[in-house]
Amino acid sequence: MLKNSPIHTRRNWISSGHRPIIYLPFKDLWTYRFLLVQLVRKDFHLFYRQTLLGPLWFFLQPALSTLVFTFAFARVAEISTDRLPAPLFYLAGLTIWNYFSECFSKTCTILRDHAQTFSKIYFPRLIVPLSIVISNLIRFGIQSLLFLLVYAFYLFLGVPVKPTWAIMLLPFLILLMAFMGLGLGLIISSLTVKYRDLAFLVAFGLQLLLFVTPVIYPLSAVPETLKYIVLANPVTAIVETFRYAFFGTGDLNPYALGYSSTVITTVLFCGLILFNKVEKNFIDLI
């Protein structure tokens, strides 16, 4: 490589200590957009490679989870579903929750999983977590088709559910979930470079967060003495607004959405700052 080439100059600048606190290489991301597309395609290919049912797993995964939740929580535990059919109630919560959980769980190990690639060639490291967010967005769109089919089925049966004006907030809700998964994933990925045992806590942390998120129960069913814990979770307002948008039931609270937006934006900025700091010399730490 020539010493004065643009790529060489860019790499020297990025490796130096003069990088901004929050570095967003928009120009480089656009230059490497083909790589971004290839990473998204690779993620899809790896998901159903060597499986009997292939892409059908995109539908089967939320469908099976909905059946389990319906039996365990609605039939056995008899937890309230806000007078909604249990399968529809759980499928709505799982559809939006799965997008966040997939973004988070797959982003939190990117530095360790791609250490060999990062050490050999230059490309904007942020492309990898962005490819995860985009590929999971496509998966979210596919799973949303299942939710809409079940939704249309219950409408046909005459179940009193109807979309509200809040459905226009859907892109905003999806963006918040993407930012939350990306921000938390970048933080954990950066920390596991030095503290590897944190990776073992991710699955447990996701399960814990699920139980303090109104996915398997409505916010109205939470006792007043515990409601502040659930409301402190920034994902709560997103799930409740998602249900309100499609069913007209749930809690649409502008202040809660404002709180969620503030917390998630802060988490994303912290993730970007930590990721930018660690990626410069993480190869030496692994």
Q: What is the pLDDT of residues 71-83, one digit of tens each?
A: 999 888 889 898 8
DSSP 166: G
What does the alpha-carbon distance between residue 82 and residue 24 come to, in Å, rounded to a whole number? 43
Q: Name, of 29-33, 47-51, 93-97, 199-203, the range with top average pLDDT.
A: 93-97
Of 268 and 250, the structure prediction assigns the larger pLDDT to 268
The model's pTM is 0.85
Q: Which tokens go with 127? A: 């492309």
In angstroms, rounded to a whole number, what is the distance separating the alpha carbons of residues 244 and 173? 12
Domain ranges of the chain: 27-284
Residue with tokens 């990898």: 128
pLDDT of residue 213: 94
154-167: average pLDDT: 90
pLDDT for the residue numbered 34:
87
Q: How many residues does the chain have?
A: 286
Closest CA to 151 of 219, 92, 64, 103: 92
Query: What is the token pair recorded at 86?
Result: 């249990």
**CA-CA distance, 30 to 202, in Å (whole number)?**
31
- The answer to whether the CB of 256 falls within 8 A of the CB of 173 is no
pLDDT of residue 8: 40
Percentage of the chain surpassing pLDDT 70? 83
Alpha-carbon distance of 195 to 252, in angstroms, equals: 39
Query: Which tens digit of pLDDT belongs to each residue from 115-140?
Result: 677 767 777 788 889 999 999 998 89
